[in-house]
Amino acid sequence: MKAVEDFLEKGKLLSPEVVEEISSLGDEELEKVLEGSDLVITKKDIESLKVPEPEIVHHDEASSDEVHISDLTEFYLDRFEFLKEEVEKRLDDANISSINNLSSGKTSVIGMVRKVDDGSVLLEDKTGELTLKTEEKFLEDEVVGVKGEVIVNEDVVMSPDKIINPDVPIRRQVPTLDQDLTALFVSEINQDVKERLKEIDPDYIFCASQRTGGKKVVHISEEGEGLSDIDPVRCDLGNLHILVHDGEALKKAERDLDIDTKEALVALLKKRHLDPVEMHSLQDRYLIRKVPDILHARGNEAVMTNYKGVTLVSTTDEKAFLVDLKTREVDEVEI
């Protein structure tokens, strides 16, 4: 094998498990290994040179056009049970009561927001409902935990001391790629953006719209073929999980919660749902079961923030973000 001979001539030693791997490398990748300072070439050295391909994580949608009451019931119960489990992890072993078993006093409950009014929220679980007296803003159909004082008369009323979201776990290590690769996150790809791409030369492009203008762009589409999917798009890239959506739900959250774009990005991640009030499909596509490493939306403002190891970016038509996938450092880019 010519490649193996090249390594021996350079005084490089190959561990047995990488001899077959060598044949899969291109000339440029081989040159990088040969020029390296390591005497013994291991499988890890070879793996670090392989460029991962984006893989779209598709949802299996039901083929039937008919939606029955039982489908809706299962839809909301499935969401509630998943988010309830996430809230329970953050209630610090508190004594959680079902609403129909409440008595006056301090307690904790977990429920789904059914109605939002000025100064009050209707919260329900599978056993009943209560009125939450609060000025805090909520999204209908989100799931929260509440600690507070309950008064039981004809109605059940609760004054919250603390609101608990499903949230995401704290990460001890932020996932990265081993390779020196970059990803550009952009709202859309028009002619001006195409010209800028020649200058920026990213390894990957993630576009939060249906207009892409390129074959190797991860983007939103109605067909969900190739490197695209119906909004939102979930993509695995090596050990990174990336979530891209068109941003309409983000703008709605800004309006309904009366917060800015950066706050809305964090809020939706903490709620583990991008758009709880809308039923986009029976698969609950906007429910965030798997926590993304990067969440990208098209927003009213170009902002970037980090929350518990998740990189959150909102792009506009004028500004994009370039992410170094080896360090997770982020640069704002004028488009």
Mean pLDDT of the chain: 88
Phi, psi of 294 (to 5 degrees): -135, 130
Q: How far apart are CA 99 and CA 117, in angstroms?
A: 20
Q: How far apart are CA 306 and CA 295, in angstroms?
A: 10
Q: How far apart are CA 27 and CA 132, in angstroms?
A: 65
Q: What tens digit of pLDDT does each residue of 109-161 get?
A: 999 999 999 999 999 999 999 999 999 999 999 999 999 999 999 899 999 99
Q: Which helix or strand (DSSP H or E) is residue 143 part of?
A: strand 143-152
Domains of the chain, earliest start first: 2-50 (no CATH), 91-164 (2.40.50.140), 182-334 (3.60.21.50)
Q: Which tokens go with 302? A: 């170009």
Q: Give, to the nearest 10 degrees, the angle between helix 2-9 and helix 27-35.
A: 20
Q: How far apart are CA 264 and CA 313, in angstroms?
A: 11
Q: What tens digit of pLDDT does each residue of 276-324 get?
A: 988 777 788 999 999 999 999 999 999 999 999 999 999 999 999 999 9
Q: What tens digit of pLDDT does each residue of 76-104 get?
A: 999 999 999 999 999 876 789 999 999 99
Contact between residue 5 and residue 31 where contact means Cβ atoms under 8 Å apart: no
Q: How far apart are CA 146 and CA 99, in angstroms?
A: 12
Q: What's the pTM?
A: 0.86
